[in-house]
Amino acid sequence: MVHRDIPSNEWPKLMDQFSRLHHGKTGQSTSTSPKGAIQQYCRDQPLLGLVDEHPGQADESIIITWGQESTSSHTVRRPMRMAMSEWNDSFSAELQIQSADGERLIVQAGPAREVLQPGMIMDGVPLERAP
């Protein structure tokens, strides 16, 4: 897994790419409050996309939308930090977004259980174990 912090000037482009690459992939979004309370906003729903409204402005918000027939969304107001983790399966990824009030939202697209171990060689068929 590769983990990296994303500079705020790259957020709109990253969210557009994340949305296109993971559109329709099943995932979840969960938040943790500054006091440690955990709330799950969505589970096992297809990702529709992420939007950065008013980038770089005081009223900036990031909206994450999930669903099919019915949709659900969650808004992170005044985001301050974003980090991304990508698994080496070319399918799964995770965004962590922290707001000014300390809320941390984790958006995970694609199943983490399909992660390939380092050293695996892909030629169309996964190996049973790493060489």
Strands 26-32 and 104-109: antiparallel
With 0.85 as the threshold, say if the pTM is over it: no
Give the lowest-confidence range in 4-13, 84-93, 111-120.
111-120
Mean pLDDT, range 86-90, rounded to an integer: 69
Domains of the chain: 2-113 (2.70.180)
Q: Are 31 and 103 in contact (CB under 8 A)?
A: yes
49, β-bridge pairs: 65
> Would you list the DSSP string of the chain?
-EEEEE-GGGHHHHHHHHHHHHTT-EEEEEEE-TT--EEEEEEEEEEEEEEEESTTSTT-EEEEEEESSSEEEEEEESEEEEEEEE-TTSS-EEEEEEETTS-EEEEEES-GGGPPPTT---SSS--SS--
37 pLDDT higher than 60: yes
Of the candidates 65, 17, 5, which has an alpha carbon nearest to the alpha carbon of residue 41? Answer: 65
116/12: higher pLDDT:
12
92 pLDDT higher than 50: yes
